[in-house]
Amino acid sequence: MKNQLKLMSSLYAFLAVAFWGISFVSAKSVLDELDLFSLITARFAIGAVFLLVLLVITRKKIFVSPQYWPHLFILSIIGVFVHQLLQAAALTSIDASEAGWLIAFSPVFTVILAVIFLRESFSFYMLLGMLTAILGVLFITAFGSGNFVFPREAGYFFMLASTLNWAVYSILLKKLDIPYPSLTITFYISCIGCAVTMPIFLSNGGLMQLQLLSSSNVWHLLFLGVFVTAIAYWFWGKALEIMEASIVSNFMYLEPPVACLAAMLLLKEEFYMSSALGGILIIAGVMAIQASKNNSG
């Protein structure tokens, strides 16, 4: 039974990461026609409506005790509003594939924070797996397109900041331990995110921008709202309900290959054999960390 739960948790985490990997391509496309606040607000609104429908269908708890409102507000600001704002800002100046590779540094921060604040175990083999995965990312960025320069532009700083921000969100989500289904929690943080950005959205003429959105970007926006903002956050929360934060976070290493594949297919970016080798190293590192945690657990 325990192994089945771990398998389901791994599936939830993988699907969430897959959606997030593809999201860089969709967000990059939509940002050609929407400003970043309009994009974020629309994503939150679509996600909140979709999650409300799921709550009704699955008959999950909708109302949350007021004592947990501050927790939900903090999670929404850190994990949704700030995180999406940083990534959207980064995508205005760097490529989608570059953003995808940089996000792989997130598990490094998560493991460190989990050891410090959640007192999760840490072993030599976890360190070895982490270093292997990081080597894969560095191999891709150094030998992939041949034009990667370590953060000199604001976009790179924004993307790296988002990885630390996401690590903090994952730790808080685990530490606060809000006694409600992850679907309910995700619904509330989406609603709060929408409410926070709505004034800027209206003042920037967001409604007019949405009306002028091309049909292809309408589909991109729906994907971002339903699968990336709603389902992915929901699945990530479900994964954290079962497995340790440091384990779940290591699935983020799989996001760069997904982002790269999506960029090649949708943006026609060039394929590099060195990128494939780097991806293999990333997956090997994740497997080493997973094996270490399973043996210790």
Please write the tens of the pLDDT for every residue from 151-206.
Answer: 445 777 788 788 888 888 878 877 788 888 888 988 998 899 899 989 989 998 98
Query: To the nearest whole percent, how much of the chain has pLDDT over 70?
Result: 88
- Is residue 16 included in any domain, yes or no? no
d(CA 241, CA 36) in angstroms, rounded, equals 31
- Is residue 1 included in any domain, yes or no? no
210 — pLDDT class (breaks 50, 70, 90) = very high
- Is residue 24 included in any domain, yes or no? no
pTM equals: 0.75
Please write the tens of the pLDDT for every residue from 29-41.
Answer: 898 899 988 998 9
Q: Which domain holds residue 221?
A: 30-296
pLDDT value for 150: 46
- Is residue 19 included in any domain, yes or no? no
Do residues 100 and 24 lie in contact, with contact meaning Cβ atoms separated by under 8 Å? yes
pLDDT value for 295: 66
Query: To the nearest whole percent, how much of the chain has pLDDT over 90?
Result: 19
- Is residue 191 included in any domain, yes or no? yes
- Is residue 183 included in any domain, yes or no? yes
- Is residue 199 included in any domain, yes or no? yes
- Is residue 87 included in any domain, yes or no? yes
d(CA 237, CA 254) in angstroms, rounded, equals 18
Please write the tens of the pLDDT for every residue from 12-58.
Answer: 888 998 898 888 889 888 988 999 889 989 998 999 999 999 899 88
Task: Domain count for the chain, please give it.
Answer: 1
